[in-house]
Each structure stands twice: as C-alpha cells, then as structure tokens.
C-alpha cells in the first residue's frame, strides 16, 4: 500500500534522508529511511519539505525504508531492474590481459598486475561495504577515500562495483573525478612502462 509523506531530512552528498509519514492527527509514525536509488525520477534531486508518495519495505535489520518513491503530482513508474552492460567487465579483462602481456614480455614486474588485482578486490569490497552502510544509515566511507583507491590502482574494481552493484554510479561530480583518476593512473602506468624500455 502506498503512503504519503514529507521529506524532513536530505543529505545530497551521501544520497539519503528521511520521510515523515503524513497521517491523521491522532496517528503517529516513525520517520522512514529514504535512499536516492528508491526515487523514480533520478533527474530531480530531493528537497526538504517536498511531498512524496512511496511504499514501505523492511531492511535486513527490520527497519522501515521507502521504495518506489514518487514526487507528489508525478505518476508512479514501474521499472524493471536495470541490467548492467558487459563493457565494464570486458574493459577490465582487457586491461589485465595487457598487464599480463607486459609481464610476459618482461616489460612489467609481476608486482604491477598483482598490485592492480589486489587493490581492485579491496576497492570493490569498499564499495560494497559503503553501499551496505548507506542502506542501513551507518558510517560511510569518504568519497575521497574511494577516489584515492581508484587513483593508486583499484579503479578496475571500482568500475565493476559502479556498474554491477550500482553504487556511486549516478552522482555526476563523483563520476567525473573517477574518470580523471583512471586517466591519471593509466598515464602513470604508460610513463612507467616507457621509462624502462
């Protein structure tokens, strides 16, 4: 059953806030957790005081969280789950094949592909942890930390996390900075390879 409520808190950087249900004067209800991914109109950022309609589901800890959130006056849209494309995986596999080739032909020390692999696994795990914390309104990982991990070589794991667990995949400023860190990391790798030739 859909409910009506008002957004009482919103943190745009973290992508979550809270909705106060609008009930009859004699009724009381706790605030409902709202995550950006539950909002159907992704092109519009929530504002405190806006009226929304939503359905309620329970998170793994049994707390209420809003689902299928629509702004008042907008039609509810039923969406099928977005399926991630295969290009991120192909790009990451291609990158690691190039690293393996560099090692095979003696252009790279084995620690370079191994380092990328280890940092990618750690970065992917950090994204997964941060997404879980966002859902549960827990302690988040700083965006600067995620970007630093991408910069030092964890970007393949970050790219997979953004596209397959759908975390940090919508915020434009974060994505632009991520692209810059990837380009800088690859440029540094190319310089490293060319300096040993």
| Burial class (CB within 10 angstroms; exposed 0-12, middle 13-18, buried 19+) of 34 | buried
Q: Which tens digits make up the pLDDT trace of 56-80?
A: 888 777 778 888 888 877 765 544 4
Highest mean pLDDT among 15-24, 93-102, 168-177: 93-102
CATH class name, domain 3-71? mainly beta
Q: Which tens digits make up the pLDDT trace of 75-107?
A: 655 444 455 568 889 999 999 999 999 899 888
Predicted TM-score (pTM) of the model is: 0.59
Domain ranges, ordered by start, for the chain:
3-71, 87-196
| Among candidate residues 74, 75, 54, the one with its CA nearest the CA of residue 64 | 54
SS3 state at 196: helix
DSSP 92-144: HHHHHHHHHHHHHTTSS-THHHHHHHHHHHHHHHHHHHHHHHHHTT-PPPPHH
Mean pLDDT of 101-130: 93
Helices (H) and strands (E) in the chain, counts: 5, 5
CA dist 119 and 107 (Å) reads 21
CA distances to 94, 132, 171 from 37, rounded to whole Å, are 30, 13, 11
């Amino acid at each position: 059953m859909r409910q009506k409520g008002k957004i009482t808190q919103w943190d745009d950087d973290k992508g979550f806030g809270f909705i106060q249900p609008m009930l009859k004067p004699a009724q009381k209800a706790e605030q409902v957790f709202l995550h950006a991914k539950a909002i159907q109109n992704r092109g519009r950022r929530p504002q405190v005081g806006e009226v929304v309609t939503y359905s309620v589901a329970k998170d793994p800890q049994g707390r209420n969280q809003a689902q299928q959130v629509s702004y008042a006056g907008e039609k509810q849209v039923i969406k099928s789950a977005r399926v991630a494309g295969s290009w991120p995986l192909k790009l990451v596999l291609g990158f690691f094949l190039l690293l393996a080739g560099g090692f095979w032909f003696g252009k790279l020390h084995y620690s370079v592909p191994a380092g990328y692999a280890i940092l990618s696994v750690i970065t992917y795990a950090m994204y997964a942890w941060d997404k879980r914390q966002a859902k549960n309104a827990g302690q988040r990982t700083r965006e600067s930390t995620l970007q630093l991990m991408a910069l030092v070589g964890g970007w393949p794991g970050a790219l997979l996390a953004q596209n397959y667990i759908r975390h940090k995949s919508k915020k434009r400023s974060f994505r632009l900075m991520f692209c810059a860190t990837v380009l800088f990391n690859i440029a540094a790798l190319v310089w490293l390879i060319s300096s040993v030739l």
